[in-house]
Amino acid sequence: MILVKPSFEIKSMMGGDFPDDSPLEIIEKAGRTCYKSEGLTTENSAENFVKMITKRGHESVIEHSALTIKFVIDRGVSHELVRHRLCAFSQESTRYCNYKGGVTFVIPLWLKDLGEGKYHSSFKPTETLSNATWLWLRSMLAAERCYTELFGLGWSPQQARSVLPNSTKTEIVVTANLREWRHIFKLRCSKAAHPQMREIMIPLLERCKELIPIIFDDINIAGE
């Protein structure tokens, strides 16, 4: 059994028709079509233009650029993520992926006394592990054991997956336009969001603020 923490990787950021176009520049080019103000475009005008349209609530214009993110999260979080309908999803399939060589689980955020790495069925609890952590760890070891033993009884991956818990690691690639990412961040970084969702989305929001200023700068993290 392998335990990991959640992570993300930005796979691509959609610009414009030319290699040197940034997301803000393609948004400006599209938006100025509405006003026939292409002649006002300068080398540094994109940021002010995009700031203006977002302030006015003309967010349809920012749909002309998109981000593709690869997440490593648990199945429970992925079930919430795929509820966002204006996205493209490609997710690791438990129907076809065979984990009998070892199942990977994502460590819950609140288990502070557990580290990443390989754990075997012979693992014994230490004084540093709380009773709750040890109970979760035993449950994951038991799930992996049952999953593996079912293969020996002739079950296929799509059958054996029925014993895998929400903590099972999954990889999912998500593509959405920038307007939809704004919507996702507003929901998934709020206090009402699941702690494990906030764990992955807040760092992603901060990274997006660095990569694409103006688009995400006005989204404040709840409680901060």
Residues with a known catalytic role: 188
Which three-class secondary structure state does DSSP give residue 29? helix
Q: How many CB atoms lie within 10 A of CB 77?
A: 24
Helix (H, G, I), strand (E, B) or coil at 68: strand
Would you report the helix, strand and coil content of the chain in percent, each value rounded to 5?
A: 45, 15, 40
Which structure tokens are listed for 95? 């129907």
Q: Around Cβ 179, how many Cβ atoms within 10 Å?
A: 19
Q: Which residues contact residue 216 at a Cβ distance below 8 angstroms, ignoring those fewer than 6 apart?
A: 181, 182, 185, 205, 208, 209
Phi and psi at residue 60, in whole multiples of 5°?
-60, -25
Strands ordered across the beta sheet of 169-177: 7-13, 66-74, 169-177, 88-91
Q: Give backbone dihedrals phi and psi of 201, rounded to 5 degrees, phi first.
A: -80, -35
d(CA 137, CA 20): 49
